[in-house]
Amino acid sequence: MITDHVMSIYCQHTSKMNRLGGSELPGSSISGGARTGTLHETQHFRWNTADVLGKGATATVFYGRNKDTGDVCAIKVFYERISRHIPSTRHREIDSMRRLQHDNIVKLIDLEKETDSNTEVLVMEYCAGGSLYSMLEQPQYAFGFPESEFRLFLKHIANGIRYLRQSGYIHRDIKPGNIMRYIGDDGSSLYKLTDFGAARELQEDETFTSIYGTEEYLYPRMYEQAVLRRPGQQDFDASVDLWSLGVTLYHVSTGMLPFQPFGGRSNSETMHKITSQKPEGALSGVQISPNGDIKWSNSLPDTCYLSKSLKALLEPMLAGLMELNMKKMWTFERFFATVEKLAFSVQLQMFSCCTGELMVLYVGPEDTHPYLQEKIAELTEIPASSQLILWHDSELKDVIDETSPMRSYPACIRKTRLYLMNSSCMGTGSPYMVVVPPFPEISKFDNLDLDCQSAKKACGIAHVLNYAVCQYLSQQKNLLKGETNFRRYLKRIVKHSELVVPEMRATLEQTRMRRESFSAAFTLLLNLFTILDTSLNVEELVTTVLGVKTQLNEPLRQLSECLKDRSFEEFFEKINSRLSEIEAYVDALSKRMREQERSRRFCTSGCSEEDRCLTKAESFKQKLQSVYSLMTRHKQYGDLHPHEKFIHYCEKQKQHSIGVLMASLVSQHCRHNLNTTFSDSQKEFGNLTKHLTRTKKVELNICSVKDSLQTLSSKLSEKEGKCRHIVERVISIVRSSLSNRKPSVGTLISLRNEE
């Protein structure tokens, strides 16, 4: 049995009732008037048949209330033919919902019988957010979910299916119409699986032969038997849920079905051809003309809202889920593990100043800085050696431990945008732009259905344009912010150089003073020893007795040569000269940077607050939303009286004119300003990159001078040690000679006096 595509109209009342009807359903704009439905009730619950939440092949779901507490609920009433002739469907769903209790599965509140017909009805929790299908029908999701909502949906649906598999169940009809959005008291979303009429128990090694599902989401071999009615019986296993899940995920991420034959559902042969002959790795196949070729794609469309990083994770997942070869098809375990890894990943917000792109990076909690650089290289083609990642005005690697896992990064880093530059090459390329489809042409003919489709598409594109304006404004802002951070980073480096050079000069001066002090002391000793050598001229007797003169000649000569050595002074002058050069270079660099910064202050490119771009875009979007709402009502009316036809014509023209104005705002104003801002910023980034190269040269020179200062100090220490050793030898010679003399010094002096 094939269920029809569920047309849920959840929490939105522009129903197919007549224009005077009323409804209690939340979202209704009609507060009075005659009821179009009738009241039905069970022992504890009551509902109006006008309040339809959704219709399927086996039942209708109504918006109801508890008669005692007033609590709202969803009441599923099976069609009479199902209740009488196919009771297994009803019993299977009741049995499944009684057993399955999980946050991501719609809860069964009660099972009661309708008072008049005695038919069993399911009383379930009410999900105010509606079905996923009804969400995707809304213009704001025409090109898929925004990234944060998609990640939430993926996590919730994976948790629900994981619970089903752990409980030994398969759903067999996974699709947007069977996934509900529950809204919590805090406004948070919780996605839940529902409609277990096709669900059954099935263990890992078991198969089944019965056919269930919805055409667009059916596994190809199932489609072959169920839709094309091909003869023969085939066995199926739990992997049919994986295929349906893959199609659903593609639909939610892009706003469109992955496999689209020309003519849609009616072209079943081509639909089967697309799904059954899909190349390995292909995510979508679209036929745009009758009997035309299939256009395959291995990637998600550029129009979806997901970041490159998330797309890179999602694309292999979708390819694996929608794989025809069972040996290559992903398993449930692999899918659950991948989603769990994504759920626990660390998100880093980054802005690429090279392309003006707002990026989101997903890295594991145990990954380190080198892995982050690899990830960036994959997404941007900037090698790790050329990446300059700034956190405010500091390089990221300077404020974190490069070997530490991402989970240890402070929240101030994980929650603050990082700025990426290419330290080797900046100032080239073009900015990243949001891909925006063109507005549809309005029909020249009066066709309510086509006009409604056109208005819906125009409204969806208006949401993309509104998103584009937000992106362009943010890109302009972040280009200037990145430029400011880069400049401040360079100023910190220059400031550090300006502080280090005087410190090195002070060190050099200390070394010079130490050299002078050493030289003065040892020169004094040399003079003293020389005087001692010449004053003790006691002729042959003294020389013979003391033996000093001969032994002192050599060490005194060595000490004299050591003190006369000019290599230290020459090295000192070289260092002093290099320091002066660095000082002059840093001073000129600092002055040049200040001049360029001063000139950038007067730059006025880009959108300003006075332009009110976002307000204008929002206004255009709301006007197109109003046109779509009117077209929807007119489509429901069917026949329009003359005044309504006039209104209809005016609104069609309004749709066209607003579309032109909005497209002009985005392309000729915001996009143009982004190009101008990007061009100006790239020139400045080019200058700053050159300054970065210069600061690196300064740092290399500073490091070289520091090494030279260390060498100079070592040379001085070596010279001091050599002179000290010579002095110790002289002292040792004198002391040794005096201690070995035969007459005393007094005797020698007496002998001299007598002579």
Six token digits for residue 140 = 């704001």
Give Cβ neighbours of residue 127 (< 8 Å, ≥ 6 apart). Answer: 10, 74, 106, 180, 181, 182, 183, 192, 194
| SS3 state at 221 | helix
CA-angle at 486, arms to 482 and 492, nearest 5°: 145
CA 741: distance to chain centroid?
Answer: 91
Six token digits for residue 586 = 């840093």
H/E stretch holding 729: helix 672-739
DSSP 367-381: --HHHHHHHHHHHH-
Give Cβ neighbours of residue 456 (< 8 Å, ≥ 6 apart). Answer: 139, 142, 628, 631, 632
CA 136 – CA 474 distance, rounded (Å): 27
Six token digits for residue 17 = 């009732």
**For residues 210 and 226, is the Cβ–Cβ distance under 8 A?**
no
Whose tokens are 């291995």? That residue is 298
Whose tokens are 């509902």? That residue is 47
H/E stretch holding 441: none
| SS3 state at 201 | strand
DSSP 58: S
Six token digits for residue 35 = 């009821």
Residues flagged as binding site: 76
Ordered alpha helix ranges (H), 137-219: 147-166
Give Cβ neighbours of residue 381 (< 8 Å, ≥ 6 apart). Answer: none
**For residues 606 and 676, is the Cβ–Cβ distance under 8 A?**
yes
Residues flagged as binding site for ATP: 76
CA 499 – CA 533 distance, rounded (Å): 51
CA 116 – CA 64 distance, rounded (Å): 17
With CA atoms as reference, report the closest residue to 743 among 552, 544, 533: 544
Give Cβ neighbours of residue 364 (< 8 Å, ≥ 6 apart). Answer: 341, 344, 345, 346, 371, 406
| SS3 state at 170 | strand
Whose tokens are 């000269």? That residue is 577
Six token digits for residue 236 = 């199926």
CA 551 – CA 651 distance, rounded (Å): 118
Six token digits for residue 534 = 């010449």
